[in-house]
Structure 1
Amino acid sequence: MRKLIAFLSAAALPCAAHAATIVNGSFEDGVNPGSFTTVNAGQTNITGWDVLAGSVDYIGSYWQASDGVRSVDLSGNSIGTLGQTITGLTVGQSYAVTFDVSRNPDGGVTPRTGTFTAGGQTFQFAYSDASSNRADMKWATVSYSFTASDTSALISFSADASGGCCYGPAIDNVRIAAVPEPASWAMMLGGFTMLGLATRRRNRTAITFA
């Protein structure tokens, strides 16, 4: 039994080893934006994040956040890009970046689109619920996977012209997790099956009759 438990622990190690994290993924840390504050390229009002181009609106009480009380509109006074460099990646490992997306409900057409970039790989995301409003942003969750080519990678979120200026897609609750390899899943599932069988066998042999 001890050997089996050790086997399961070892099988789980590859996932634990890829300990990449997003800094301030829910944007709760930074200069208090009040209702909202426009943050321009080069400013560092949002802890862990950099405005790489244009400007973004750092949202406080202006509308409902997905997680906590703050979020980001990717278009401030101009179409913006927000990013950070993540570390602790393993070369060749796949990672899933998951985030919540909505739209600035004050104007612009739907669907509201933008781009997410990770390690040089670019994905387009879209938000199409035209009924969202400041009190109920109807956040939707999306996830994209990329394969690390280095131990660090720049991730970034960009608005485009779909909302004009300046009604961008909104983001919140950004997180990252290593994607388990199929072989690791198979090993763990097989191990749990063996553990279940061993437990049943042990329970049967423990029964005694007077």
Structure 2
Amino acid sequence: MKYVIAAALMCVAGSAGAATIANGDFDQPGTFNGGFQTLGAGSTGLSGWTIGGSGIDLINTYWTPQADDYSIDLNAGNAGTISQTITDMIVGTAYDLTFWMSGNPAGGPAEKQIDVSVGFSGETFTYDVTGNSRSNMNWEEMTFSFVADSTEALLVFSSGISGAFGGALDSIAISETGVSPIPVPASLPLLAGGLALLGLARRRKA
């Protein structure tokens, strides 16, 4: 019987998948070549992401990305946003959302700001571009930690500054950092109790 209960607990624990970020490196669809391309609010030019605010600039050769071929400037003519829904999270689990941040060094302000939120949790990140150049972006890895209170939540990156020279963003990823005890469904103790009674009845018959 103990093996049956263990199997039931394993089924509960394995019911959720692994949370991932779609197109976290901005390399899809990967058909744009050149300095940069402005994508306005509602554009479908960045796979996996919804673009809002005043739009963003998808950067190819205008500056050096943190990795691969593409990154983004969160300000097109003014502050923009990108968002997507993270799914397959486990309630009560701690997650680290990591991303690489720099800023457009071609104009002010020198301190760039990116606001990050997942559901009701949020944090503001800043980066000073003083001394940077488009060939030397000095990318810095940032980490936003949160505990999932739902199996899915909206992830939003928003520029916190005005103007055309915003925070730069690349290589977004998510990973689990700790799992709380698995909540046992109300029906599972009833199942275990029923199996225990069944085992007791069989012993009596023997």
Q: What TM-score, normalized by structure 2, do the two folds share?
A: 0.76
The structure richer in helix per residue is: 1
* Residue 167 (1) aligns with residue 155 (2): no
> Which residue number corresponds to residue 70 of structure 1?
70
SS of 2:110's equivalent in the other structure is: coil
Q: Could you tell me whether the CA contact under 8 Å between 1:18 and 1:178 is conserved in 2?
A: no
* Residues in 2 aligned to 1:82 and 1:181: alpha-carbon distance in whole angstroms: 28
Give the drift of 1:111. 1.9
> Which residue number corresponds to residue 105 of structure 2?
105
SS of 1:150's equivalent in the other structure is: coil
> Which residue number corresponds to residue 156 of structure 2?
156
> Which residue number corresponds to residue 184 of structure 2?
none
Quick one: structure 1 residues 46 and 60, their matched pair in 2 at CA, closer, same or farther if it must change by over 3 Å? same
Q: Could you tell me whether the CA contact under 8 Å between 2:95 and 2:146 is conserved in 1?
A: yes
Q: Could you tell me whether the CA contact under 8 Å between 2:67 and 2:170 is conserved in 1?
A: yes
Matched ranges for 1:1-210 at <5 A: 19-30=18-29, 31-161=31-161, 164-181=162-179
* Residues in 1 aligned to 2:133 and 2:180: alpha-carbon distance in whole angstroms: 41
* Residues in 2 aligned to 1:119 and 1:141: alpha-carbon distance in whole angstroms: 22
Q: Could you tell me whether the CA contact under 8 Å between 2:75 and 2:159 is conserved in 1?
A: yes
Sequence identity of aligned pairs in percent?
A: 34
* Residues in 1 aligned to 2:33 and 2:149: alpha-carbon distance in whole angstroms: 36
Larger gyration radius, structure 1 or structure 2: 2
Report the number of matched residues: 171
* Residues in 2 aligned to 1:178 and 1:116: alpha-carbon distance in whole angstroms: 18
Q: Which runs of 5+ in 2 are unaligned?
A: 1-12, 182-206
Quick one: structure 1 residues 38 and 145, their matched pair in 2 at CA, closer, same or farther if it must change by over 3 Å? same
Q: What TM-score, normalized by structure 1, do the two folds share?
A: 0.75
Aligned amino acid, residue 145 of structure 2:
S
